[in-house]
Structure 1
Amino acid sequence: MKKLLLVMAFVTLSLVLAACGSSEESASSDGSKEITIGYFPNINHVAGMVAEEKKLYAETLPDGTKVNYKYFPGGAAFMTAIETGEIEGGLVGPGPAMNHFISGAKINIVAAGSTGGTVIMARKGANIEAPKGLKDKTFISPHVGCTHDVQFETMMKEEFGITSERIDGSMKHVTGKPATYHSMFVAGNVDAATVPEPWASVIEAKGSGEVLVDTADVAYGETLPAAVFVTSQDLVKNNPDMVQSIVDAHKKATEFIKDNPEEAKTIAIDKIKDITDQKLSKSVIDNAWERIDFTYEVNGDVLQDFANSSYELEFLKEKPDLEGLVDTSFVE
């Protein structure tokens, strides 16, 4: 009986110790500190690629900290990883970040990653000459209610009075990874796409589609952060020094992109090849680069306006209040 009680006490103590460490960076098997950063293989997330390639987190985090990286196909998986502590922070679209915050996720946006980069493409041969021609057509986006979806559907509703079947409209909506949109166009499976770069430029280069609406004319096209840097409120509260170190590395990466665009493009080409197994040409990256501005400054008012649009499109059940989501103290 005593032996059983001792075992139970040991297990209980182990669980308590594990819980105590959950709000900070994890420890690797050799006892050193360890964190994980996440991002997507999109041009909007080049700061993540540069920070990884140039080992910029090693310059700002305490000596001995091991930095891992995890790549995500979409915002839902990324946000789950943040909420469960699988990753400490990283880049994601503002749509998933806002949606999860409104649903109760304890997260903070502590920086931006970029603006721009969303393009509406029409499949060659679909006979779509203008956005109003999308009535009764099928469009694809990465996920339902993602950043690019909201930008597209906001534009269509406000400017042309056309909505998706989800809200009793005429446009059919499917989802899929942006890297597959060219093949979807070739197969004739969809008529249009709301596309993050560099995949719009891939479609242009391969000739399977044409630009229907360029970045500047999509809703929130040049003002909305296309990527934001997110971490948990728990980390902000309990380990602000670590958050500051992470944001400092992200800022270094952003400045590197501005000061060394050609090297940053090469890094992006190589990382996207590693992650997606697709080799993008320099001309594709050059074209995509023109549609994006890399910045770590984040405007909370624009995010609130965007969230209101998401509500009006019925992606959100309640009118959103983003008070407490954005914390700009780490970039000031």
Structure 2
Amino acid sequence: MKKFLFSALLLLLGLVLTACGSGESSGNTDAAESSGDEITIGYFPNINHVAGMVAEEKDLYSETLPDGTQVNYQYFPDGSAFMTAIETGEIEGGLVGPGPAMNHYTSGAEVNIVASGSTGGTVIMARNDANIESPEDLAGKTFISPRVGCTHDVQFETMMKEEYGLTSDRVKGEMKHVTGEPATYHSMFTTGNVDVATVPEPWASVIEEKGSGEVLVDTSDVAYGETLPAAVFVTSQRLADEDPELIQNLVDAHKKATEFIQENPEESKTIAIDKIKDITDQELSASAIDNAWERINFTYEIDGEVLQNFADSSYDLEFLDEAPDLTGLVDTSFIENESN
């Protein structure tokens, strides 16, 4: 069974707009550059990253890459670690939340989003007995998100500021903010350590099933809830420029994985349950996965305008020091080409 291989990259967790998710590093991590016969793909063990799990389980990258190519996989604990691995050539591509991709791009990283992985899947959960009937009750309450300024954090804080006029203590607001891994939210609700959680699936459905909390705001009503990519497929601009055939092969495999999920949801759910257990040692029930699946749309289509609007919200919330310009971040040419 694969185990967590947390690296020094975790020291970068303080970056704003880091990803929301939990995971582990695994596989061969020595592939510093694309060699033509070895590539490494990264993703998180979250439901929004099922395309990565399916591609691994079904060995789909081997179908699109040249014969003999060795395909490795690496599981990441956060988006900052993932993006650094992209920039250093430790991995050639993979799935990450849109937040870290945008943050690193606006900081000067030469990266491209070449496809989406999924949309939706963010849920705002309230702890039982926290005396919360609506988001208006959150003044003075403690909320948790995976990282400061991560995708789910920005969605939640955008909604709270725009619709209820409430902000976090990060900007001297009324809500206290803490961070933690989504897989721990059920236990934190049970102990009363937090009142509200902005949760990526499947962990919202786990909380529902175990009865420690209930839905306060469902996916469709969270800011950018059904339109914002919850996961995007990222690679480096250098690779896209120097070896566009490689990137096309990677995107073709990702498209195959996404289409498999669309056409075989039940088998895809089983793959997700098994892979999450393998990576995190946590076994999720079929009912929790079923519930989570209803909140997610698996697609490789990407809308750059939505990402720009989301980035503008991040700037409005003071997660970014300068107004972001994402021109050039999204490259749809590879998903527009016919698959092999």
- The TM-score normalised by the length of structure 2 is 0.89
Deviations along 1:85-118, one digit per CA (max 9) or x if unpaired, are 1111100110111011101111000000000000
Q: Aligned residues, how many?
A: 306
Q: Name the structure 1 match of 2:268.
A: 264
Q: Distance in 2 between matches of 1:276 and 1:144?
A: 22
Which consecutive unaligned segments of at least 5 residues does structure 2 have? 1-30
Deviations along 1:12-53, one digit per CA (max 9) or x if unpaired, are xxxxxxxxx96x5147xxxxx111101111110000000000
Q: Secondary structure at the match of 1:86?
A: coil
Q: Distance in 2 between matches of 1:266 and 1:292?
A: 16
Q: Distance in 1 between matches of 2:222 and 2:95?
A: 22
Deviations along 1:141-168, one digit per CA (max 9) or x if unpaired, are 1111110000000000000000001111
How much does 1:77 deviate?
Answer: 1.2
Q: Name the structure 2 match of 1:11.
A: none
Deviations along 1:160-184, one digit per CA (max 9) or x if unpaired, are 0000011110111111111111111
Q: Name the structure 1 match of 2:258.
A: 254
Which consecutive unaligned segments of at least 5 residues does structure 1 have? 1-20, 28-32
Find runs of 4+ consecutive structure 1 residues off by over 6 angstroms: none
> Looking at CA atoms only, which structure, 1 or 2, has the larger radius of gyration?
1
Q: Name the structure 2 match of 1:14.
A: none
Q: Distance in 1 between matches of 2:289 and 2:231?
A: 18
Taking every aligned residue pair, what percent have the same amino acid on both sides?
79
Q: Name the structure 1 match of 2:53.
A: 49
Q: Name the structure 1 match of 2:124.
A: 120
Q: Distance in 2 between matches of 1:229 and 1:319?
A: 24
Amino acid paired to 1:291: R
Q: Distance in 2 between matches of 1:77 and 1:316?
A: 19
Q: Distance in 1 between matches of 2:322 and 2:235?
A: 24
Larger deviation, residues 151-160 vs 33-42: 33-42
Residue among 311, 315, 318 paired with 2:319: 315
Residue among 149, 164, 171 paired with 1:167: 171
Q: Secondary structure at the match of 2:59?
A: coil
Q: Distance in 2 between matches of 1:271 and 1:330?
A: 28
Amino acid paired to 2:325: D
Amino acid paired to 1:50: V
Higher helix residue share:
1
Q: Distance in 2 between matches of 1:82 and 1:313?
A: 27
Amino acid paired to 1:182: H
Q: Secondary structure at the match of 1:98?
A: helix
